[in-house]
Amino acid sequence: MTDSSPSPAGASPSPAGASPSTETLPNPDGLPRRRKPAAGSATAGEMALADALEAAVEAEAGVEAAPTEPEIEESLRARGARLSALEVARMIVDGAEDKKAADIVLLDVAELTSMADYFVICSGGSERQLGAIADGIAEKLRAQGVRPIGREGGSNSHWTLLDFGAVIVHIFAPPERDYYQLERHWSAAKTVLRVQ
């Protein structure tokens, strides 16, 4: 008795020499499909062999699960992704302190705006120091896998802004800091840290 039912859409005919116990699955995405044995065609010997192979693979997987080599150090990008906004902000404060920034203030603005969680505001004594502070902060965080999203203003503009996503850094020359008074503008923000 032969099967006269139509083949499924997209199924290719059996190649010459293929056993009648296999069928080709439809391939709607155009990718080749593996052939599966037709239902009820496996013998008891084949089933026992399949069970034995499965047990061997499971035993081998158990041996492979035990770490034999030291773990590879996690990548910088993965490490940077794990840092919280507060940890990033504290690293920024440390970087600014390393470059002798003056009057460093860390503000928690999360309750007041959605653009950032923290502002770091600091001052530099000269145009050269403004650039050195910005570069020092960027390098310190780059070593931890955190890169700035953007950088605005140069040392000659007397105000440099570094955007790290959840933390925004404002580096001012003293006259511009007095003029713009960001601390007063964000006076409702909680002062987390102040370094004189």
What value does the mean pLDDT take over residues 101-129? 94
How many degrees, rounded to 5, is the angle at CA 73 between CA 71 and CA 78? 125
Strand partners, 172: 123, 159
21 domain-assigned: no
Q: Domain range for residue 189?
A: 84-195
pLDDT at 131 over 60: yes
CA-to-CA distance for 152 and 40, rounded, in angstroms?
70
Residue at 149 is within a domain? yes
pLDDT of residue 25: 56
Task: Examine residue 75 and state whether it is found in any structural domain, yes or no.
Answer: no
Q: How many domains does the chain have?
A: 1
Is residue 16 situated within a structural domain? Answer: no
Identify the H or E element spanning 49. helix 44-65
In-domain check, residue 45: no
For position 179, which CATH number holds? 3.30.460.10
pLDDT band at 162 (very low <50, low <70, confident <90, very high): very high
Distance of alpha carbon 123 from alpha carbon 159, whole angstroms: 9
pLDDT tens profile 48-67: 787 887 777 777 766 555 55
Q: What confidence category does residue 134 fall into, taking pLDDT thresholds of 50, 70 and 90?
A: very high
Question: pTM for the complete prediction?
Answer: 0.60
Kindly state whether residue 49 falls inside one of the protein's structural domains. Answer: no
Whether 32 is in a domain gets the answer no
Condensed to tens digits (0 to 9), the pLDDT of residues 64-114 reads 555 555 554 555 556 656 788 899 999 999 999 999 999 999 999 999 999
CA dist 167 and 146 (Å) reads 11
Provide the pLDDT for residue 58.
73
Asked, for residue 30, whether it belongs to a domain, the answer is: no
